[in-house]
Amino acid sequence: MPISAHLTQFLASVHPYDSLTDAELIALANRCEVQSNVTGDRIFGIGDTADSLYIIADGAIEITDDTDVQLSLLGPRNSFGERALLRDETATRTATVTENCTLIVMPAATLFDLIKTHPPVAKFFDRRRPQREDRNDLATMAVDQLMTRNPISCSPDTPIRTVAGQMHERRISSICITDADAFEGIVTLRDMNSRVVVQGADPLAPVSSIMTPSPLSLSPKALVTDVLHLMVERGIGHIPIVEGQTLLGIVTQTDLTRAQAMSSADLVGRVAKAQDATEMARATSEIPQLLVQLVDAGNRHEVVTRLITDIADTATRRLLALAEAALGAPPVPYLWLACGSQGRQEQTGVSDQDNCLILSDDVTEADMPYFAQLAKFVSDGLDVCGYFYCPGDMMATNPRWCQPLKVWRGYFEGWIAKPDPEAQMLASVMFDLRPIGGDDSLFVNLQTQTLKRASKNSIFTAHMISNSLKHQPPIGLLRGLATIRSGEHRNQLDLKHNGVVPVVDLGRIYTLQGQLKSVNTRARLEAAIAARVLSGTGGADLLAAYDLIATTRLDHQSQQIKAGVKPTNYLDPSNLSDFERSHLRDAFVVVKTMQSAAGSGKGVLG
């Protein structure tokens, strides 16, 4: 087979060129060159003119930054060189052959022609923040996003009285009848009234005697529109969702009403009026479904996490009010603060609680039991609501984190003066503090003075930078992504600790260097660019990378919730398309580059 035929065949297996027709692939192959290189060859270096895109046919290429830190080790079907090419600037990285390789060299003009004429190619090389399609239309939503999964069911021979008791106890309006996991029928409150109360059916008879056999049902891929039409046309209020003979879920008029009314404002309102933690938990239990709806509506990741965090804030303030009602007025002013993801307003479908109490310096030892009870009341209530206890005991229930303002000042002064590993960790957590309820004045001066003192201590800043580099993006050989090697999450990516957290850590460093008061990570990056702590180019890259990683994480959690699985931060990259993997790898490379810049001591504007 001639070289051009081999080249055409190879390009057809590489995304995005696999979208081209046979004739277009042949034309592309004729405009490219095949280049052979041996180990040690430098393809291009920092400052070189960018004039080509390189696609690896075989072998390996190492990409390093200006401090010789490895950013990527690329194998077959990966490309490189597009960064400088698309920006029309000289190279800012070095590409070196680490294993004898064959490269396909695509001239810049050829790439630009493809980008202009082929949308899939243009999309592949577009690193701008994607505009997400607005899909916030309940009627066109798939049924499996709305249905109640694993509905209550019973066997056909269950006595009618037993079924009626279950419906009353669980406050539900129907029960599905299954036999050996096969869906048989349904019994509703209407059936109970008409066939038992009115017609006098024996309460001890099997429920199969009053059920509606083989009722109208829909598949999980049906649209909510189908449910609405069926309910209106047939005058029914319950639609079982069945696949084959297996009952997967049920959609009721109540589900439709709840979905139409569900919003973060609705949940906030219900939480704010709750009389106890149990009532509050009924509202917060709907947060996963809210996350799905917000993601499917095309909302940006920082909007989704902000709205979800608002619910946690409201729950905290309501619990504080209930605690004061139960314990009496506080003896001195206090301030409840959140740290961690709640402090940064970045909560997702997986959230623990990280909080603390700052007390007025007028507090006495005799007052401390009150605040211990207040902290327990609120933390226990948050746990009931699904915000589980912090594994590291970073909570106001820990006496260490329930202290007068003067003690907190001493904490920060000590961490800054002697930045040992524990101090670095604690300072990192506490730089994300955000007031939730109480007297805000207890925090304003503390935050300002701490940032000023910390930014002036070069040793502390250096230690914080070093600490921020402990979480590394998962860049490796296989398609450029390094997965977890063993354990429960083997072959998966940790989108929290190796994805989002490295950017969170960088944002905290920029905040410290610029004495910026923002706490939210994206707001920190934007503020750092505005304050010229972070270069416009580097900042734009990092924002785009963060957006992609955070959005991928939320999309993943949304898909898990739809599948009836508890959301996690662990993603199997094999579930992503080549396009998604490539872009995610590029995002991780950007983060790695910015980490290298922060750790080199050259600064982020250099």
Q: Domain ends where: 102, 125, 148? A: 125
Q: Is 131 within a domain?
A: no
**307 and 428 share one domain:** yes
Tokens encoding 225: 């529109």
pLDDT digits (tens, 9 = 90+) for 11-58: 988 888 988 888 999 999 999 999 999 999 999 998 888 889 999 999
Q: What phi and psi, each to the nearest 5 degrees, are found at residue 367? A: -85, -20
Contact 343, 394 (CB under 8 A): no
**216 and 107 share one domain:** no
Tokens encoding 62: 């190492």
Q: Is 133 within a domain?
A: no
Q: Is 435 within a domain?
A: yes
Q: Report how far residue 169's alpha carbon sits from residue 472's, in angstroms, rounded to the nearest whole number.
A: 51
Alpha helices in 240-300 (DSSP H): 253-261, 264-273, 277-284, 287-296
Predicted pLDDT at 603: 47
Q: Domain ends where: 212, 230, 256? A: 256
> Which residues of the chain are under the pLDDT cut of 50?
1, 133-136, 478, 603-606
Q: Report how far residue 402's alpha carbon sits from residue 478's, in angstroms, rounded to the nearest whole number.
A: 47
**297 and 440 share one domain:** yes
Q: What phi and psi, each to the nearest 5 degrees, are found at residue 223? A: -95, 155
Q: Domain ends where: 237, 256, 275? A: 256
Q: Is 460 within a domain?
A: no
Tokens encoding 557: 């959690």
**71 and 105 share one domain:** yes
Predicted pLDDT at 1: 41
Which CATH number characterizes residue 55's domain? 2.60.120.10
**473 and 572 share one domain:** yes
Show the domain range for 98.
3-125
Q: Report how far residue 462's alpha carbon sits from residue 485's, in angstroms, rounded to the nearest whole number.
A: 31
pTM strictly above 0.85: no
Which CATH number characterizes residue 377's domain? 3.30.460.10
**183 and 316 share one domain:** no
Closest listed residue to residue 560, CA positions, set 573, 548, 569, 550: 569
Predicted pLDDT at 129: 52
Q: From residue 552, give the alpha-carbon distance in Å to each of 291, 297, 301, 499, 545.
A: 13, 15, 9, 10, 11
> Which burial class, exposed, middle or buried, applies to 498 when counting CB atoms under 10 A from its CB (0-12, 13-18, 19+)?
buried
Count of the separate structural domains present in the chain: 4
Residue count (the chain): 606
